[in-house]
Structure 1
Amino acid sequence: MSQIGELLAPSNAIAMLGFLGLIVMVATPWRRVGLALAGGGICGILAAGLLPLGNWAIFPLEQRFPAFVDDGRPITGIIVLSGALELTRSAARRQFAVNGAAERLFAFMDLARRYPAARLVYSGGNSRIGSRLPPEAWTATEYLKTIGLPGDRLTIEPRSHNTWENARETRNLVRPSPGERWLLVTSAWHMPRAMGSFEQVGFRVIPYPVDFQTNGTRDLEQPFTVVGQGLERLDLAAREWLGLIGYRLSGRTGALFPGPGAEPKPSEAKLVIAN
């Protein structure tokens, strides 16, 4: 998550509301106002952390694209988007460290085995521009080679810093031809923004969603048992919804909530590709 995204996270916003209330209580004569703000912050943290608000927010994202069904037709290539590695910890401990999105890597390796003739592309540099850490694509592919993935099948795209650049740089790298079938592997909650970005640059891909956070509709009714889990889920969903809004306003997607069958307008696609 970027620095701006971290500041806008609901958990931070609610906590800062409570902290502001404490300051008002101590440093101003408006003790009742401060008490109300502090109480609102405490109640807000409990409500956001225990009620299934995070599941309500992330469920529509995860359900937007259906699971991939193999119809027997050949697959030209498989693209996996970065985001599964903890680059700082990997560098500090000199070990391959993954985060909660590790299913992207597992799916990538499984698909590579199932489609031995498909091209393999790992797309992703470092999300923090200016960081001295190596691109995620470099770190990940070195590990994938050590566990048996053939190095001659792997193509890396290490220049991108975000989802939009994933789409643009990958398209420029592989130069897809009409009629080719490429699978796009990323987290289910991230798939709408990823698909919208690839479609907007004129690269038609097939979604392969993984890393689901919810178990289905039953999670919309069940509260969390740990406050931190609920807050983390809500922060993740909020970041993605804000990302969708930002991408639509900046022209990086052709729809606010990209879905199956959505296509960019020819004029928009040409404009974006020219950039």
Structure 2
Amino acid sequence: MFFYAAKVLWFLLQPSTLIALLIGYGSVLIWTGWARWGRRFVSAGAVLLLVAGLSPLGNALILPLEDRFPRTNLDAEPAPSGFIVLGGAEDRLVGQARGAPTLNEAGERMLEAAILARLFPQAKIAFSGGDAGLLYKSDSEAAGAGALLTELGILRDQLILEANARDTYENAVFLKSELEKRGALGNGKRWLLITSAYHMPRAMGVFREAGLAVEPWPVDYRTRGPADLTRPFDKVSEGLRRVDVAAREWVGLFAYWVSARSDALLPAPLATNLGCDLVRPGATEAGGSPASPCRPNS
């Protein structure tokens, strides 16, 4: 139920949809006795469209998420036991119809998995991704990922494919169950999590809450860093999409925290103190230790 509600609500609440509805509703009112309000709505929508589409607002929203988790140290001991790759890098609807790999702008998730698999040939690659479509159904992302990764040179017995998860919460829960069945968790096991940098805070919080200890390996960066805080977009569509992506993550962080699917409102690296992590009361790390080194200010 959570999955379906989240899909529908986000379609209605995402900034691009709200702006379109504001302009559309105002356009209708202009032809009624509420013309003055109609012009106000249209004007407000136009201003928001320009601000969201051309200003650096999207970069300002996404940058704190991308910078939240640095990459872990690959040289630390023990060597990685495996790499967890989250779905979201494929368009399976098109890929299934065309019979060809169809990576989207998050394709670095797959590329990094292939690179790391070559660096650590003894490590497993655990991919989690099902079919998250509502109106249009396709096969699972895991099916496409398995085919692509083997074509990139990864041995089939090096892969662990989980094909039922539809969101980040299910990624963590289903994958933990699969890895436990294989005896791939426990002392001496070290798993790294590969996902988009802006998505890493929410993913880390969910995996911690599920009791699956992972280390971050963020990819798919959308900004260069602070320099992009003053960089406007040259296409309204690109800026608006950046705002949508960032807003979705911030709303997702709050929704997952409120629904007890994440251990913190804004998860942070446990080895450093990056400020208040707003830990949900009672949340704990796998093994029973506190979920975060910081607590809300009193």
TM-score tier after normalising by the smaller chain length: over 0.9
Larger RCO (alpha carbons 8 Å, 6+ apart): 1
User: 1:269 deviation in Å?
Assistant: 6.7
User: 1:185 deviation in Å?
Assistant: 0.2
Cα deviation 1:52-99 (Å, max 9, x = unaligned): 110111011101101233224211111100000001111121211010
Q: State whether structure 2 residue 182 is matched by structure 1 residue 178.
A: no
Of residues 234-243 and 60-69 in structure 1, the stretch that sits farther from structure 2 once superposed is 60-69
TM-score, length of structure 1 as denominator length:
0.92
Of residues 90-99 and 243-252 in structure 1, the stretch that sits farther from structure 2 once superposed is 90-99
Query: In structure 2, what is the Cα distance between the partners aligned to 1:72 and 1:268?
Result: 21
Contact 2:56 2:230 survives alignment (8 Å)? yes
Of residues 116-125 and 102-111 in structure 1, the stretch that sits farther from structure 2 once superposed is 116-125
User: 1:146 deviation in Å?
Assistant: 2.2
Residue number in structure 2 paired with 1:136? 141
Contact 2:74 2:80 survives alignment (8 Å)? no
Query: In structure 1, what is the Cα distance between the partners aligned to 2:222 and 2:8?
Result: 23
Residue number in structure 2 paired with 1:52? 56
Structure 2 residue corresponding to 1:125, chosen from 130, 143, 146: 130
Of residues 146-155 and 159-168 in structure 1, the stretch that sits farther from structure 2 once superposed is 146-155
Query: In structure 2, what is the Cα distance between the partners aligned to 1:112 and 1:232?
Result: 32
Structure 2 residue corresponding to 1:244, chosen from 239, 253, 277: 253
Query: In structure 2, what is the Cα distance between the partners aligned to 1:7 and 1:111?
Result: 39
Query: In structure 2, what is the Cα distance between the partners aligned to 1:70 and 1:189?
Result: 21
1:173 aligned counterpart, secondary structure: helix
Which structure's residues are more often helix, by fraction? Answer: 1
Structure 1 residue corresponding to 2:21, chosen from 13, 16, 24: 16
Cα deviation 1:154-201 (Å, max 9, x = unaligned): 110111111001001111111211331101000000001110011001
Structure 2 residue corresponding to 1:42, chosen from 37, 43, 46: 46
Residue number in structure 1 paired with 2:3? none
One-letter amino acid of the counterpart of residue 103, structure 1: E
Residue number in structure 1 paired with 2:91? 86
Query: In structure 2, what is the Cα distance between the partners aligned to 1:111 and 1:252?
Result: 29
Contact 1:82 1:136 survives alignment (8 Å)? yes
Residue number in structure 1 paired with 2:222? 213
Of residues 142-151 and 188-197 in structure 1, the stretch that sits farther from structure 2 once superposed is 142-151
Structure 2 residue corresponding to 1:100, chosen from 100, 105, 109: 105
Residue number in structure 2 paired with 1:2? 7
Cα deviation 1:97-132 (Å, max 9, x = unaligned): 010100000000000001111111111111226864
Cα deviation 1:19-69 (Å, max 9, x = unaligned): 11111111x212221111111111110111011110111011101101233
When residues 60 and 136 of structure 1 are mapped into structure 2, their CA distance, relative to the original with a 3 A threshold, is: same
Q: State whether structure 2 residue 210 is matched by structure 1 residue 201.
A: yes
Structure 2 residue corresponding to 1:230, chosen from 226, 229, 239: 239
One-letter amino acid of the counterpart of residue 171, structure 1: K
Residue number in structure 2 paired with 1:253? 262
One-letter amino acid of the counterpart of residue 44, structure 1: L
Q: State whether structure 2 residue 39 is matched by structure 1 residue 30.
A: no
Query: In structure 2, what is the Cα distance between the partners aligned to 1:152 and 1:71?
Result: 24
Query: In structure 2, what is the Cα distance between the partners aligned to 1:134 and 1:31?
Result: 48
Contact 1:129 1:161 survives alignment (8 Å)? no
Cα deviation 1:125-147 (Å, max 9, x = unaligned): 11226864111011111122123
Q: State whether structure 2 residue 157 is matched by structure 1 residue 152.
A: yes
One-letter amino acid of the counterpart of residue 82, structure 1: G
Q: State whether structure 2 residue 119 is matched by structure 1 residue 110.
A: no
Structure 2 residue corresponding to 1:163, chosen from 158, 168, 171: 168
Q: How many residues align?
A: 269
